Amino acid sequence: MTVLPVGAAAPVAPPGAVSPSRASFGELLRVRLPAAPEVRPAGVRLLEKVEQARARLDAALAEARRGRSFTAGELLSLQGDAYRAGQTLELASRLVEQGAQSVRQAVNTQV
């Protein structure tokens, strides 16, 4: 008669660990719930993107000063990055200006 292999043994719990059958509901929730993701306002994300684009352009300019020559594709990519960063910065400044104008109008409104 052939004896079939048995599956892997059940893992041994580390010392001091609470078995799931004896754990309280709160302990089970703490163990299984992932941490909440960090929430940042859209304005912060927008400014982070502008800062990242500025850092990439600064790095490219530093490489050019050291004598590196760029291919046509790399130069087009840098031009696109610079244009996109400029447009994003212009949009952010318009949003700030409109927000300030709205606050000014609300303050000057007579009730």
**How confident is the model at residue 31, as a pLDDT?**
60
Q: What is the mean pLDDT of residues 15-21?
A: 55
Per-residue pLDDT for 86 more than 80? yes
Is residue 78 assigned to a domain?
yes
Say if 25 falls within a structural domain: no
Task: Tell me, yes or no, whether 99 lies in a domain.
Answer: yes
Domain count, the chain: 1
53, 84 Cβ separation under 8 angstroms: yes
Tens-place pLDDT, residues 56-81: 889 999 999 999 998 999 999 889 98
Query: HSE of 96 in the Cβ direction (CA atoms, 13 Å)?
Result: 10
CA trace torsion 63, 65, 67, 70 (10° rounding): 50
**Inside any domain, residue 11:** no
Taking the whole predicted model, whether its pTM rises above 0.75 is answered as no
The domain containing residue 96 runs over which residues? 40-108
Tell me the three state secondary structure of residue 34: coil
Per-residue DSSP letter, 21 = T
In a domain, 1, yes or no: no
Q: Determine, yes or no, domain membership for 12.
A: no
